[in-house]
Structure formats: C-alpha cells, structure tokens
C-alpha cells in the first residue's frame, strides 16, 4: 500500500532499529530488499517521510549499521554498491553511499573495495556514464559527497586503510581534477552554493591527507 503513512511508519522503524546494537531474528535481508524496491508514487510524494528523508535513504543507513553482522544485509549492500546498480540509484542514494566510504572499507573485503574504487573511477570518467546526464549542480553535489567520504577515511587509523591507501590517492587525484573553476559573473544561486560546498569539503580533505599527497596535487 503506497501511502505516506505507510512510508513514515516503515522509515521510523528502520531509524529506530539503526540505533540498536542487535536485531531480532528475522530475515532482514528480505525486508531491506523490499524497502529498496518500494515504488515511487506518481501522484503524491508517498516515498517521502515527514523529515524529508526517503524510505530508501533510511534503509541505506540501516544497512551501514547492521551489514557487518548480518550476511543477508551485507549481500544487499554489496549489490547496491556495484556499478551496474549504483548508476541506476537516485542522486540522494548515490550521495549516501559515497559519503560512507569508511563504513564500506570496514565492512567489505579488500578485493571488494578494490572493485568499488575501480567502479567509482569508471563512473566519474566514462564517456557513457549516467553521471554526465546530471545538471552541473547535481554533479557538484555528488562530488562533494565523495569528498566527504574521503575526509572520513583520512581520520581513520592506518590499519583501517592498509588495503585502500593507493586507491584513495587515485580517487583524490580524480576528484581534484574535477573541482569546478570559480565562475565569473552571475551564476544561478544553486550552482554557486554547490560549488562553494564542494570546494569546502575538498579543502577539509586535503588538509587531512598525507602532506606528500597534497603537495603532489598542488604542484
């Protein structure tokens, strides 16, 4: 039943479960999968709850909390983070995944993370990537989320990043090359705000990165 009340109720339950250390014994993989497949109603914002957070966004946050201890949730997160599935997600969901890079490093194996890094480079550089279809400010928002994810990585311990350091450096080089030039003259406020936020996150990240990496980028 696609009603706003239904979505609000399910979203609230997921939000509460995201605060618990353990889940009751249910098939959470099937439940979360159903939430991620919930249809978007055409005539009303039924997928939107009272806080403006979609059910699928709440489901993703739920996955990041519990996937490490539930194999069915881990499998679902693995599917969602795959490039074929990732590029079909709505922009807010893509942003959540990119902002949670550190969580995925902790949850995924080193080989799975290597694939994820490769997928993200392809997504942002391929000439046939759906990324190219986004409006200029949407691209900036997506890259800003990626910078946020990298920022979290650089606050982690060395052990956590032992198998991702080279990939992190490659991603940082990629994003640095995609930073927007500060526009001259009047630009839409939405674009200007997105650019400011992207640069702000990039500067925070570069300040935390290894000095040698940052200097190499700036030369």
72-125 pLDDT per residue, tens: 999 999 999 999 999 999 999 999 999 999 999 999 998 999 999 999 999 999
Alpha-carbon gap, residue 8 to 55, rounded angstroms: 8
Range of the domain at 199: 109-219
Q: What is the DSSP string of 30-92?
A: HHHHHHHTPPPPSSS-TTB-TTS-BHHHHHHHHHHHHGGG-HHHHHHHHHHHSHHHHTTS-HH
**Residues 136, 181: one domain?**
yes
Q: How confident is the model at residue 27 (pLDDT cuts 50, 70, 90)?
A: very high
50 shares its domain with 139: no
* Residue 100: inside a domain: no
29: confidence class by pLDDT, cuts 50, 70, 90 = very high
pLDDT at 158 over 60: no
Residue 102 lies in a domain: no
Please indicate, yes or no, whether residues 114 and 213 belong to a single structural domain of this protein: yes
Q: Provide the domain count of the chain.
A: 2
Q: Are residues 114 and 72 part of one domain? A: no
């Amino acid at each position: 039943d696609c009603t706003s009340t239904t979505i609000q109720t399910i979203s609230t339950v997921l939000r509460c479960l995201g605060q618990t250390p353990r889940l009751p014994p249910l098939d959470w993989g099937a439940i979360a999968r159903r939430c991620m497949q919930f249809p978007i109603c055409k005539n009303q914002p039924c997928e939107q709850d009272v806080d403006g957070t979609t059910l699928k966004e709440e489901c993703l946050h739920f996955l990041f909390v519990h996937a490490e201890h539930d194999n069915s949730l881990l499998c679902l997160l693995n599917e969602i983070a795959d490039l074929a599935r990732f590029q079909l997600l709505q922009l807010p969901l893509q942003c959540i995944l990119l902002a949670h890079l550190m969580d995925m490093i902790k949850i995924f194996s080193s080989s799975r993370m290597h694939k994820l890094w490769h997928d993200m480079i392809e997504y942002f550089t391929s000439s046939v990537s759906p990324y190219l279809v986004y409006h200029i400010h949407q691209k900036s928002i997506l890259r800003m989320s990626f910078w946020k994810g990298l920022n979290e990585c650089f606050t982690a311990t060395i052990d956590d990043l032992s198998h991702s350091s080279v990939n992190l450096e490659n991603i940082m080089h990629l994003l640095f090359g995609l930073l927007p030039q500060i526009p001259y003259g009047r630009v839409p406020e939405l674009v200007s705000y997105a650019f400011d936020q992207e640069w702000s996150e990039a500067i925070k990240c570069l300040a935390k990165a290894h000095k040698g990496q940052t200097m190499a980028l700036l030369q």
